[in-house]
């Protein structure tokens, strides 16, 4: 096409700032040109520039404006789609004069253009849907009022604990009776599966590699402190990518769930550490799917595979680490799941609960029923569509997957039909705490039938001030350029993050969640046992949702 103005190039194929998701609001009058904003911007969306401008100046004791044309320094937003402003706001954070901030542009056409070179848009974070989720619409409406006394969250004894592991049906307990006293029949040879008592909110799988060393270390320290000092048995899953060799050989291993996924990254080191382990891990999670990107395997971009990560994972540096979508060595659900569970159980002498994690899906019930028949399956983790990830295609994150609420509920009710609701714990994940309501979301899922919930994105936000949100703010986790130092392997970036502060925040978050759970359960008259499946306590303001979830409608 000929340029409109003859041989002079116009800007026809340039994008205007209106197409961009965030527009930088820069204030010339406040800016002192220190350059901090341009230096800190993780994507170089802003750049210092020089312009010739008409400037009105007035010098001297009395107003005497004069207009001059002068060369000035400015901060400009670039219009290269590869350097789009992510809205993270790191520039505002470092600006001494409040001279700059990104502003959300709801009219943007970002997704129209973010496929340069045929490269589909990849990012981190979670589904970009800021609307109120089902979890946040659930309300606790069965309040103990006069007909029975409400409990006192401060005075009564509360046991906010759950069980992780396969639980024997009562009829199969190998009990003996001697003079009216029960014992265990050890001669029966009956397998009693390992079961852990845990806090019902756990930190879900986020790998070393996806997370920076101080972030992972901060989480691990926080978890250990909660267990050792606060007496809150919070557990954390490793994600795919192994664990630090020293931690594998430490007494703190018991607070960690080790994940094995389709890439088996990190498992050389784990197997090597097995003979030296002084404690068993809390559990083994076999990852078959992830709510954020159903059908996709894990993905660690080359830029994040630095020396430490390469060593732990047993791979060369700076190569893309894409786990396959499925476990390649297996081929059917019967074989895949049973064999994996058996192998993992065997590695630890059947002393460790082994459970699969899948993406929320219409097929979840089929997996569940397979597990229900497998006496070694220790549970099922279902990760709903609002789960987060360090790297995935935007289309997978935004459009693939199943919301957790109804998926979890139908699985629980299916177990109820079979009478196995107490035998196979369900762990719900994906969008828990999306709007900050961690305890309320967790309690709602528990009342719908979850034995525990897992959080990932929430803890990054709450413990390490992750900028990411559902307006596609930041979401740079995949690039290794996390401005907070959470999801990067670049020492220049991750030195911004103080692992002690992360640990402190983890402790604060869980202690507060413990209090909030009591504040929810106490008025509902529950304190002794977790109200798993107490669906009469819940209501929602939508009839169709109420019907689907088998709860009451309240408005």
Partner 1 sequence: MCRLAAITSNEYISPMEPIMALETMKEGHDGSGLGLTLKNLGGAFEKLKKYPIMSGICSMAGKKMLDDFMKKEGFTLKHEWKPKLKQVKGIVPHDYYFARAYDYPAAFRNKSHQEKEDLLMNTRLSLRKIGEPGEALFVFSFYPDVLTLKEVGDPLQVADFFGLDDDRLKAKIILAQGRQNTNYAIYLYACHPFFIQGFCSMTNGENTAFVPIREFLSSRGFPGYMGYNSDSEVFTHILHYAVRQLHLPLPYYKDIITPLKSTEIDMRTDREALRLMKQSLRSLCIDGPNVIIGFTPDGTCFMVHDAKKLRPGVVGGIKGRYALMSEECGVDSAVPKRDRSKDLFPMKYDMVIVSPQAEEVKVWNQQQGQY
Least distance from partner 1 to the Cβ atom of residue 153, Å: 13
3-class SS of residue 352: coil
The closest of 360, 362, 364, 354 to 333, measured between CA atoms, is: 364
Given a contact cutoff of 8 angstroms between Cβ atoms, the answer to whether 413 and 426 are in contact is no
| Stretch near partner 1 under the rule CB under 8 A, chosen from 15-23, 155-163, 282-290, 395-403 | 155-163
Least distance from partner 1 to the Cβ atom of residue 155, Å: 10
Interface with partner 1 includes 416 (CB under 8 A)? yes
Q: In sequence order, which residues have a C-beta less than 8 Å from that of residue 36 and are 6 or more positions away?
A: 91, 94, 95, 96
Q: What is the dihedral angle through the alpha carbons of 333, 336, 337, 341, rounded to the nearest 10 degrees?
A: 170
Among residues 531, 539, 540, 549, the one that binds partner 1 under rule CB under 8 A: 531
Least distance from partner 1 to the Cβ atom of residue 534, Å: 6
Cβ-based nearer residue to partner 1, 91 or 198: 198
Q: What is the dihedral angle through the alpha carbons of 144, 434, 133, 451, rounded to the nearest 10 degrees?
A: -50
Among residues 180, 189, 275, 349, the one that binds partner 1 under rule CB under 8 A: 180
Q: What track of x and - describes contact with partner 1 for positions 90 through 119 (by CB under 8 A)?
A: ------------------------------
Given a contact cutoff of 8 angstroms between Cβ atoms, the answer to whether 165 and 425 are in contact is yes
Interface with partner 1 includes 417 (CB under 8 A)? yes
Alpha carbons 188 and 185: distance in angstroms, whole number: 6
Alpha carbons 387 and 290: distance in angstroms, whole number: 7
Q: What track of x and - describes contact with partner 1 for positions 236 through 275 (by CB under 8 A)?
A: ----------------------------------------
Among residues 151, 367, 411, 428, the one that binds partner 1 under rule CB under 8 A: 151
Q: Please give the residues from 485 up to 514 whose contact with partner 1 meets the rule CB under 8 A.
A: none
The closest of 293, 297, 344, 341 to 321, measured between CA atoms, is: 297
CA 216 to chain centre: 13
Among residues 48, 154, 169, 436, the one that binds partner 1 under rule CB under 8 A: 169
Cβ-based nearer residue to partner 1, 2 or 178: 178
* Helix (H), strand (E) at residue 474: none
Least distance from partner 1 to the Cβ atom of residue 522, Å: 11
Interface with partner 1 includes 287 (CB under 8 A)? no
Q: Please give the residues from 321 up to 360 whose contact with partner 1 meets the rule CB under 8 A.
A: none
What values do phi and psi take at 197, rounded to 5? Answer: -95, 120
Interface with partner 1 includes 529 (CB under 8 A)? yes
Given a contact cutoff of 8 angstroms between Cβ atoms, the answer to whether 234 and 201 are in contact is yes
Interface with partner 1 includes 55 (CB under 8 A)? no
Interface with partner 1 includes 475 (CB under 8 A)? no
Among residues 534, 540, 546, 549, the one that binds partner 1 under rule CB under 8 A: 534
Cβ-based nearer residue to partner 1, 305 or 520: 520
The closest of 375, 346, 318 to 489, measured between CA atoms, is: 318
Least distance from partner 1 to the Cβ atom of residue 376, Å: 16
* Helix (H), strand (E) at residue 448: helix 438-448
Cβ-based nearer residue to partner 1, 384 or 537: 537
Interface with partner 1 includes 525 (CB under 8 A)? yes
Pairing between β-strand 196-198 and β-strand 162-164 as defined by DSSP bridges: antiparallel
Given a contact cutoff of 8 angstroms between Cβ atoms, the answer to whether 142 and 548 are in contact is no
Alpha carbons 526 and 338: distance in angstroms, whole number: 37
Among residues 50, 182, 278, 302, the one that binds partner 1 under rule CB under 8 A: 182
Q: What track of x and - describes contact with partner 1 for positions 16 through 35 (by CB under 8 A)?
A: --------------------
Given a contact cutoff of 8 angstroms between Cβ atoms, the answer to whether 228 and 503 are in contact is no
| Stretch near partner 1 under the rule CB under 8 A, chosen from 91-99, 215-223, 241-249, 519-527 | 519-527
The closest of 94, 93, 77 to 43, measured between CA atoms, is: 77
Among residues 106, 171, 362, 492, the one that binds partner 1 under rule CB under 8 A: 171
Cβ-based nearer residue to partner 1, 529 or 542: 529
CA 512 to chain centre: 19
Task: Give the position of tokens 């990830």.
Answer: 389
Least distance from partner 1 to the Cβ atom of residue 364, Å: 20
Least distance from partner 1 to the Cβ atom of residue 339, Å: 26
| Stretch near partner 1 under the rule CB under 8 A, chosen from 204-212, 387-395, 415-423, 466-474 | 415-423
Interface with partner 1 includes 66 (CB under 8 A)? no
Interface with partner 1 includes 276 (CB under 8 A)? no
Interface with partner 1 includes 200 (CB under 8 A)? no
Interface with partner 1 includes 478 (CB under 8 A)? no
Interface with partner 1 includes 528 (CB under 8 A)? yes
Least distance from partner 1 to the Cβ atom of residue 416, Å: 5
Least distance from partner 1 to the Cβ atom of residue 483, Å: 44
Beta bridge partners of 284: 258, 354
What values do phi and psi take at 150, rounded to 5? Answer: -70, 150
The angle subtended at Cα 307 by Cα 301 and Cα 309, nearest 5°, is: 55
Three-class SS string for 32-72? CCCCHHHHHCCCCCEEEEEEEEEEEECCCCCCCCEEEEEEE
What values do phi and psi take at 318, rounded to 5? Answer: 55, 45
Applying CB under 8 A, what is the total number of residues that bind partner 1?
A: 45
Cβ-based nearer residue to partner 1, 35 or 169: 169
The closest of 360, 358, 392 to 487, measured between CA atoms, is: 392
The closest of 479, 56, 538 to 301, measured between CA atoms, is: 479
Among residues 119, 147, 189, 544, the one that binds partner 1 under rule CB under 8 A: 147
Binding site for partner 1 (CB under 8 A): 142, 144, 147-149, 151, 156-157, 159, 163, 167-171, 173, 175, 177, 180-184, 192, 195, 197, 416-422, 524-529, 531-536
């Amino acid at each position: 096409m000929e340029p409109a103005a003859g041989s002079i190039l116009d800007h026809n194929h340039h994008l205007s700032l209106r197409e961009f998701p965030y527009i930088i609001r820069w204030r010339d009058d406040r800016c002192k040109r220190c350059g901090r904003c341009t230096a800190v911007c993780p994507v170089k969306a802003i750049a210092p520039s020089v312009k010739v401008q008409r400037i009105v100046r007035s010098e001297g004791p009395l107003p005497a404006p004069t207009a001059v044309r002068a060369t000035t320094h400015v901060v400009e937003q670039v219009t290269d789609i590869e350097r789009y402003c992510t809205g993270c706001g790191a520039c505002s954070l470092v600006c001494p004069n409040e001279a700059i901030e990104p502003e959300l542009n709801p009219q943007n056409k970002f997704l129209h253009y973010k496929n340069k070179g045929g490269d589909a848009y990849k990012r981190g974070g979670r589904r970009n849907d800021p609307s109120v989720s089902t979890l946040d619409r659930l309300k606790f409406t069965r309040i103990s009022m006069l007909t029975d006394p409400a409990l006192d969250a401060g005075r009564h004894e509360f046991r906010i604990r759950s069980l992780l592991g396969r639980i024997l049906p009562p009829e199969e307990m190998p009990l003996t009776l001697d003079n009216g006293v029960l014992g265990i029949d050890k001669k029966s040879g009956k397998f009693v599966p390992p079961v852990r008592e845990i806090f019902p909110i756990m930190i879900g799988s986020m790998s070393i590699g996806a997370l920076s060393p101080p972030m992972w270390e901060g989480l691990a320290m926080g978890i250990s402190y909660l267990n050792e000092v606060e007496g809150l048995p919070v557990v954390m899953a490793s994600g795919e990518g192994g664990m630090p060799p020293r931690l594998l050989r430490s007494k703190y291993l018991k607070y960690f769930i080790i994940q094995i996924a389709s890439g088996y990254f990190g498992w050389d080191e784990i197997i090597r550490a097995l003979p030296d382990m002084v404690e068993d891990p809390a559990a083994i999670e076999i990852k078959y799917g992830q709510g954020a990107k159903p059908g996709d395997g894990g993905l660690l971009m080359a830029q994040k595979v630095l020396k430490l990560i390469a060593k732990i994972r047993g791979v060369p540096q700076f190569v893309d680490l894409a786990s396959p979508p499925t476990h390649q060595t297996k081929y059917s659900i019967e074989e895949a799941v049973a064999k994996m569970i058996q192998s993992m159980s065997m590695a630890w002498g059947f002393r460790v609960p082994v459970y699969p994690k899948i993406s929320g899906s219409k097929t979840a019930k089929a997996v569940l029923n397979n597990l229900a028949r497998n006496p070694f399956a220790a549970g099922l983790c279902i990760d709903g569509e609002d789960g987060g990830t360090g790297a995935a295609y935007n289309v997978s994150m935004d459009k693939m997957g199943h919301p957790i609420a109804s998926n979890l509920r139908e699985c629980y009710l299916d177990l109820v039909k079979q009478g196995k609701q107490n035998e196979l714990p369900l762990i719900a994940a994906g969008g828990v705490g999306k709007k900050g309501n961690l305890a309320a979301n967790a309690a709602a899922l528990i009342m719908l039938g979850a034995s525990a919930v897992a959080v990932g994105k929430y803890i990054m936000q709450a413990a390490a001030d992750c900028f990411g949100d559902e307006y596609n703010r930041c979401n740079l986790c995949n690039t290794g350029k996390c401005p907070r130092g959470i999801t990067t392997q670049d020492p220049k970036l991750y030195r911004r993050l103080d692992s002690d502060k992360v640990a402190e925040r983890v402790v604060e978050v869980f202690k507060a969640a413990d209090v909030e759970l009591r504040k929810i359960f106490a008025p509902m008259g529950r304190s002794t046992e977790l109200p798993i499946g107490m669906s009469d306590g819940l209501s929602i303001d939508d009839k169709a949702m109420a019907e689907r979830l088998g709860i009451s409608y309240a408005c």
